[in-house]
Chain A
Amino acid sequence: MVTLRDLKPGERGTVIGYTDDDPPGRLLEMGLLPGTSVEIVRLAPLGDPIDLKVRGFHLSIRQHEAAHIQVERG
């Protein structure tokens, strides 16, 4: 199972689901929904959080949350 956390900077993926039955609503409201294409732009200087590009804007989330989002590479 690949999660958003496993993607490297520059890689893209498509959200396919969540590891958790009750994913944080805030992430869903920001548009991180199944079928959404996501790009890892970069990691923060200390490796966490992550800068994502989703639906045309930059969103920063922690590795901890990224590990809850299942993705398919590409």
Chain B
Amino acid sequence: MPVASIPAETRPRRIALAGNPNVGKTTLFNALTGLRQKVANYPGVTVERKSGRLVNTEGVEVVDLPGTYSLNPKSLDERVAYDVLVGRMDGEAVPDLVLCVVDATNLERNLYLVTQIQDLGLPVVVALNMMDAAQEAGLEIDVDGLAKRLNAPVLPLVARNKIGLDALLAALAEVPPVKATAAWDLIPAAEKPVADLAAQLDAEVPGLPERRCRFEALGALSSDLLLAPWQERAPQFHQAVLDARADLEARKVPYKQAEMMGRYAWLGPLAADVIARHKDPSDQTRSDKIDAILTHRIAGPLIFVGILVLIFQAVFSWAGPAMDLIETTVVALGSGVRSLMPDGMIEDVMVEGVITGVGNVVIFLPQILLLFFFLGLMEDTGYMARTAFIMDRLMRRMGLSGASVVPLLSSYACAIPGIMAARTLSNERDRIITIMVAPLMSCSARLPVYTLFIAAFIPTGALFGVIGYQGLTMFSLYVLGTVMAFFAAWVLKRVVFKGSSSMFVMELPPYRLPRMKQVLWRMVDRSKAFVVRAGRIIFGLSILLWFLAAYPKTDTDSALESARAEAEATYQTQVQNLPPTADAERQRLAEARDAQLAEIDTEVAGQQIRQSFIGMLGHAVEPIMRPLGFDWKMSAGILSAFAAREVIVSTMATIYSVGEEDDEPVLLRDALKADRYPDGRPVYTPLVALSLLIFFVFALQCMSTLAIARRELNSWKWPAVMWLYMFALAYVFSLVVYQGGLALGWGV
């Protein structure tokens, strides 16, 4: 039927897209909306709200609901889907039409959700996706028969190849009629009480469709979460539900299972009727054969470790050059702007605040993009679920779940993609614990700090002549962070989340070939979310930290000022006395003067930071840090490293005025070794270095991590707890090591 001939009032304006996880919902959403998508969050929750305009239409909005198995709000995703569909979500109107995506190879379980949505009294169109896979599995589905039984349009589809899309779009132009009553029956013992409750609800809240009353009555009967909102809206109904529960319990009717049993009792025969099987269902599918290898008792874990090594190798070695390039570009951009703009405060804000701030965000991108690419590949093929399957037992011992493995391993590169990857954890408790311990994994930003202090203060010898002390220290730092992450998870599980149980009920979806377009799309999507959301906070704090290091402006020390004038004067006198032909000598003198001036400039910069707010803060917190063996300079370095851990290296370089030359690390190392307290004791001993290293293993010196944790957990509470407990760990461990070391006489 041509769209124009459909009367305007039966044309849908808002379509919600619903379906189980792993049924190709995202692929279909992309095909339906093209590139014009908007991603936001639902108010008050971290669940993403994706919407877009239906292709070839003027203003029909498609909203992608979270993938769910049911509408009984047990998880956040289900809660959101339910609230949107019943119009209880702030700022969301009830959709005119719900497009349910269904996996044709797995009809029975997928239709469970479809019947629930129909029971809300909403018009439903069913997209029967993965028809190619169904055919391959020898399933022949009677599409017309299915449509008749469901009393809804059913459109066969292969979303990834866009087969059947045109017919689906045509079907979406009109709102199909809704049947007043549901076709499925409850178990007999529950039928009458539920019907009575539905009648009570209908009397108290007029205007709800008949089958919606039954659905709500059933929901309120079996779930406290669903019952609660009725206490105010329909107090008599609320009381009636409580009475009915008591009555049913007395008669030992399993009413909490009534809904599941009723729906499946109807869906089982339905599926048997509309599906003709041309292959023995007990035959091994290709996916089963792959699983026999990938989850094999011995081969499975080996392959998993192999894949991880491959991914980490790729992330570290491929991201390296890109990160170097970004660093060079940021520096070049800075000096470019410096040469274009007049000297002054605006120039300083631009270069040291804005450009460095942007650089601090963008520098993470190569690793994040690569990690998201591989994670996307693992998700898209179905392998991600297997990693959870393989690792669950091991991880559970430590208070985590199998699905925590990938987020935690990602955190060795950077906690930010790690924390974002924790979204795949469906259990909220497991997700929070995983996020809370992820920053304890030693990330790549700690590496420059580890390298500097190990190279400077850990002896080069070797244990038993084979294991170098320096390498051993480095390895121990990684182990220390990892062990503590597991311990922290264990404590969180037993103390904070005491008593709450974690279930592990996970579908192992069939293996599918990854679609590059899909994987790349998701990679860009998630990276964009990082840049936009976390970027804002990181950027703001970078400017703040710049300000603290650059102000208050000090009057350049008069001694330095006169040193500068003197260098200039000496040069002038020397040049004057030279014969006009001594060009080479003149140049040598000019170079000597320039070197002297540069030295004075670094001295000025050092003086500036020593007297800046950061310097003052360093002095202010020194008494707290002193028991750990840190002086004010290290304290200031630690404070400035809050922008990003590796910043401590450049801050220390500025404080010690060693300049920003190529051989800076070596110079800084020598400067650290040479530093003395007024009484002649060295500021740095191997024990101080060890204390500082341990501090960096534990302390959450990274505002980006806090920003992303705030975003993912939607509150400042958890990030605050995270920072505090990690600081406490850092402080206590450094204290014990330093004071213990002193007591043992290692402090020299």
Q: Which residues of A contact B (CB under 8 A)?
A: 22-31, 33-34, 36, 41-42, 44-49, 51, 55-62, 65
Contacts and interface: CB of A to CB of B under 8 A. Distances in A.
Contacts of B503: 24, 26, 62, 65
Sort A-B residue pairs by CB-CB distance and give the 6 closest, nearest first: A58-B508, A28-B260, A46-B393, A48-B393, A29-B70, A60-B506
Given A41-B288, A61-B505, 11 more contacts: A25-B256, A31-B108, A31-B109, A33-B260, A45-B301, A49-B506, A51-B291, A56-B281, A60-B388, A60-B508, A61-B506
Kindly name the residue among A26, A47, A57 whose own CB sees the greatest number of chain B CB atoms within 10 A: A57
B105 A56 contact: yes
Chain B interface bracket (under 10, 10 to 19, 20 to 34, 35 or more): 35 or more
A25 B261 CA distance: 11
B109 A47 contact: no
Contacts of B510: 58
B295 interface: yes
A60 B504 CA distance: 7
26 contacts: A25-B72, A25-B222, A25-B260, A26-B503, A29-B70, A30-B109, A31-B108, A33-B260, A36-B264, A42-B295, A44-B295, A45-B297, A47-B393, A49-B389, A55-B106, A55-B108, A56-B108, A57-B109, A57-B507, A58-B509, A59-B508, A60-B505, A61-B504, A62-B503, A62-B504, A65-B505
Interface majority SS (helix, strand, loop, mixed), chain A = loop
Interface of B: 69-70, 72, 74, 105-106, 108-109, 112, 222, 256-257, 260-261, 264, 281, 288, 291-292, 295-298, 300-301, 385, 388-390, 392-394, 396, 402, 503-510
A26 B77 CA distance: 14
Contact of B504 (A41, A56, A65): A65
A5 B503 CA distance: 16
Nearest to A27: B505
A28 B257 contact: yes
A31 B266 CA distance: 12
A58 B507 contact: yes
Interface centre among A45, A59, A65 (most CB of B within 10 A): A45
Contacts of B256: 22, 25
A51 B505 CA distance: 10
Contacts of B260: 25, 28-29, 33
A31 B264 CA distance: 7
Contacts of B109: 30-31, 55, 57
B393 A44 contact: yes
B390 A33 contact: no
B106 A51 contact: no
Contacts of B292: 42
A36 B257 CA distance: 14
Contact of B257 (A33, A41, A57): A33
Contacts of B505: 24, 26-27, 30, 59-61, 65
B222 to A, nearest CB: 8
A57 B106 contact: yes
Given A29-B72, A57-B507, A49 B264 contact: no
Contact of B506 (A23, A24, A55, A59): A59
A31 B108 CA distance: 9
B415 to A, nearest CB: 27
